[in-house]
Structure 1
Amino acid sequence: MELRDAIIRECKDERDMTLRDYHKRAYRVVLRLLTAGLLEKSKDISEFARYKKTPLFVASVFKQRVTGDRGPKQPKQPTQVEHGAPSLPVKDLCIRDELDQLVKTYQVDLLSSIGESEEYLRLHQTYPQLKAKLEPHYLKSRDVSSKILGKIRAIESVLAGMPKDPVL
């Protein structure tokens, strides 16, 4: 309810929207947050769906979207450093920020997956009779960790090839 109400407050500037349109927009935002892993559906048995924030949501930094004229976008020009040398174009800075954020997201996922693997090992040591049931889960979580680590390394190699932000 809080998220839906906040979205409706943000959209009040847009005219010709019905309450149903506001609810549709709020639902689309919730779906995006679910897909990104920032929200998870609560397991409560109730008539209405409830969502709760994930640790990734809490660790995320959100930027306020500037609302205004939604006319045709003008291409952004490179910014200029005080001494006159061109710095990174604004688009490249945004890409770098997005990639940095993606690495942080994957690092959180990696820590979670490593913790899961360690817990399966601990359970195996505590309850050796469960080895047959625990081993497939352990191997799967280890595989997930390896894939996430590969994603982090790939993005970091791309970031290493990009120029750093200029110091103003």
Structure 2
Amino acid sequence: MSKISIKINAQLNTILQDENFDNFHVTQLRDAYLANSSVSQDLVQARKYIYRQILRLVKKGLLLKKGTKNSKRVVYQKSELFYKTNFICQSTTEDKVNRAKAVTVGTNTAVQQLEKRLKESEVDLLTSIGESEEYMRLYQSFPEMKTHLESQYLQARENSSKLLGQIKAIKSVLAHQQK
């Protein structure tokens, strides 16, 4: 007899595959599911979702229902078929929504960091330009210090050029991110 395959939520699969997780109530599975979930969910909605998944597994013969009908004492137990089943994990819509949100949040964070970096680079550029202008004024006031002031002036100009390149690169990346 070949293994049967069934699609199942990845989080539920992780919980149910645990050897110690057997003979459980709906609320126990719901609580474990919520504990593993990165999404905050309504308890009632989560219980309904879990209950639907349990019923599906009971109908397929993977879980056995122990206890009286419509009782809060109903316990679910893994059947022999459960251990012979090939589970195909799939992510839920909520997982997909969360991943999309995470990408958006990550992009927003990146944009914020780039904007902060851009402002810092622009301030550094203005500082460097002011420094090079001051070296020019000092040279005019103190020509005897020409060698020292000239090397400082050239270093400040080189720094300004590097900062201008950084600003262009950051603006280019920001323009791409904001499309």
Question: Which TM-score band (shorter chain)?
Answer: 0.3 to 0.5
TM-score by length of 2: 0.43
- CA radius of gyration, larger in: 2
Specify which structure has the higher proportion of helix: 2
Higher relative contact order (CA 8 A, sep 6+): 2
User: Structure 1-normalised TM-score?
Assistant: 0.46
